[in-house]
Amino acid sequence: MLYDITGYILDFTIYTGHDTNYNKKYNDLPLPSRIVMTLVEDYLDVGHCIVMDNYYSSPQLFLQLVKRNTDAVGTVCCNRKSLPSDFKTAKLRKNERIARYYNKLMALKCHDKKYVHMLSTYHKNDTTIIQKHQIQIEKPTCIHEYNDTMG
């Protein structure tokens, strides 16, 4: 489902397995990436930032979007292909984080209550201060903005 920042639904695709409707020019991409590229096709090349969850996020998709002047941010499964090997295996202490870069793509791993893995072509490895239960907490900006957008 594709919706804007206000929650207005712009487009959607019903998943029907191999018969799922997507643009055939994206056949070289995995199925979740084909679906994303088909849904956002009319919104590419104008500088938007697309936010997605870990089912759709992949380094390959984010690099395709960057080629089309479109940023992306999303959680990512730590075992996704093309992620740095030390990114997958690094043991972090609470509130510690690491970031790895490939051109404009950042892969971020941090440890809050549990490990969180993010991809972003929009953010850098910086933090923001948020108020939580009347306590100021430092949180990676990409995670804070992802949570604000995705809910």
pLDDT of residue 27: 86
DSSP state of 100: E
Number of domains in the chain: 1
- Provide the residue range defining the domain that includes 107: 2-150
The whole-number mean pLDDT for each consecutive block of 10 residues of the chain, a chain of 151 residues, reads 87 83 86 93 95 94 97 93 85 92 95 93 92 88 92 68
pLDDT at 141: 93
Please state, as a whole number, how many other Cβ atoms lie within 10 Å of the Cβ of residue 101: 12
For 21-80, the DSSP string reads ---GGGTTS-HHHHHHHHHHGGGTTS--EEEE-TTT--HHHHHHHHHTT-EEEEE--TT-
Query: How much is the pLDDT for 109?
Result: 95
Position 132 scores a pLDDT of: 84
